[in-house]
């Protein structure tokens, strides 16, 4: 049986640089930074005092007030951006075969804010005061569960947890399920709300984060010689994936097509990528093979680009391994330079950025690129975005534990 074609018909984004597609895309085009000083708690004792927070988000604008109180912030993000994506796609699940509508959401740490809050309740007031909603708010699958309950999707329901590759794996799995005929529509992407005292402390202890506190908007510097670590962000990116004939039958607007998915494991180290980006390269190669295209067919790579020393160096090496001479003809950008690193939700908002780049013929820049690194010598679209006709684009995300995931998006043609 021929594999079915899968297209993207709806998008919803909640990010540190804007909520909704228009705000998000305009900020990307302008090279706007969403990094500023932490306001969610007192960070004066931390070596990193900056983050990428979602601004002006009130869950009751999207969710019933009573229900919102029973959701962790990461679930609120996921539910709200799902509503945006469904509206954008003009999908009414009540008018669909709900058994053929699925949900696959990625998150790295789930309800860590709830975990920390309820631990303090337990420690200060005893076990009898812990909320009965503690577990249902904390567990990682609750974003997917709540979306299903609210919107009535009764098909495939999964949660992927693969660190910073989580939502990329979610999108890839959704692609596979539709491609193989097990669903017609899948709500997919990722959500994260991990800017908490304990989470920040943990990342700071690993010395993985930037300490450029004096210049928040310039602190996220992927591929720059002076990069000194990532900056945590929060938010959600949700995509509506749909089987092509199903989308055409209902007259849907189609953003792009998804045609390839690759994933590998480094089997090397709990945090560091394998030397020379070996696993990254295999993931990219697998995605190209799955798409049935050659490296020369790709015009743009939306990189993982965390602004950590090893990631940026090894991702560059991996791109060179896969694309060879064509690597120097690629436009490559890290939108984390603007949003910070959304951990498990990174692939969600960055896939949206990639898709919008294809649709608009425009590549967002890597901002804060000032000092070239001899080991990172490709075209990272420094500081100013540019027009580019894109037929195929690649999206990379890599996670702790050696998780590697790559997607290939294509300009849609009949």
Which residues are catalytic, by number?
Answer: 164, 304, 341
Neighbour count for residue 46 (Cβ, 10 Å) = 18
CA-to-CA dists, residue 369 to 156, 185, 226, 322, angstroms: 42, 39, 9, 24
Rounded-to-integer distance, Cα 208 and Cα 307, Å: 9
Q: Which of 185, 184, 11 is nearest to 88 (CA)?
A: 11
Please choose, from the candidates 10, 366, 358, 84, the residue with its C-alpha nearest in 3D space to the C-alpha of residue 235.
84
The sign one gets for the Cα dihedral 378, 383, 384, 390 is positive
Question: Can you tell me the distance from the alpha carbon of 239 to that of 260, in angstroms, rounded to the nearest whole number?
Answer: 16
Task: Please tell me the distance from the alpha carbon of residue 351 to that of residue 129, in angstroms, as a whole number.
Answer: 41
Helix residue ranges, H only, 187-261: 197-205, 244-249
Q: Tokens standing for 363?
A: 């590549």
């Amino acid at each position: 049986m021929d594999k079915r074609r899968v297209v993207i018909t709806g998008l919803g984004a909640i990010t540190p640089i804007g909520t909704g597609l228009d705000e998000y895309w305009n900020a990307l085009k302008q090279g706007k930074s969403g990094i500023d000083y932490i306001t969610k708690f007192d960070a004066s004792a931390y070596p990193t005092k900056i983050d990428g927070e979602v601004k002006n988000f009130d869950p009751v604008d999207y969710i019933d007030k009573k229900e919102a109180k029973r959701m962790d912030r990461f679930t609120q993000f996921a539910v709200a951006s799902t509503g945006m994506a469904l509206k954008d796609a003009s999908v009414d699940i009540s008018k669909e075969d709900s058994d053929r509508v699925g949900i696959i959401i990625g998150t790295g740490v789930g309800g860590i804010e709830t975990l920390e809050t309820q631990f303090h309740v337990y420690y200060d007031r005893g076990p009898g005061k812990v909320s009965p909603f503690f577990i249902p708010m904390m567990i990682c699958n609750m974003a997917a569960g709540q979306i299903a309950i609210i919107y009535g999707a009764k098909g495939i329901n999964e949660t992927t947890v693969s660190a910073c590759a989580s939502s990329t794996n979610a999108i890839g799995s959704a692609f596979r399920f539709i491609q193989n005929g097990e669903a017609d529509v899948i709500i997919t992407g990722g959500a994260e709300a991990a800017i908490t005292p304990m989470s920040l402390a943990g990342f700071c202890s690993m010395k993985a984060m930037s300490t450029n506190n004096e210049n928040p908007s310039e602190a996220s510097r992927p591929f720059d010689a002076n990069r000194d670590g990532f900056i945590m962000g929060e938010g959600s990116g949700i995509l509506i994936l749909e089987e092509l004939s199903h989308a055409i039958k209902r007259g849907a607007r189609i953003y792009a097509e998804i045609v390839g998915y690759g994933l590998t494991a480094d089997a090397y180290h709990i945090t560091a990528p394998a030397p020379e980006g070996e696993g990254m390269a295999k993931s990219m190669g697998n995605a190209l093979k799955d798409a049935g295209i050659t490296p020369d067919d790709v015009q743009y790579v939306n990189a993982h680009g965390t602004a950590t020393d090893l990631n940026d160096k090894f991702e560059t090496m991996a791109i060179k391994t896969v694309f060879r001479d064509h690597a120097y003809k690629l436009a490559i950008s890290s939108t984390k330079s603007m949003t910070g690193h959304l951990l498990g939700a990174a692939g969600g908002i960055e896939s949206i950025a990639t898709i919008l780049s294809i649709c608009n013929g425009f590549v967002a820049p890597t901002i804060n690129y000032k000092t070239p690194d001899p080991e990172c010598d490709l075209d990272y679209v420094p500081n100013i975005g540019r027009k580019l006709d894109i037929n195929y684009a690649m999206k990379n995300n890599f996670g702790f534990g050696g998780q590697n995931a790559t997607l290939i998006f294509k300009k849609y043609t009949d």
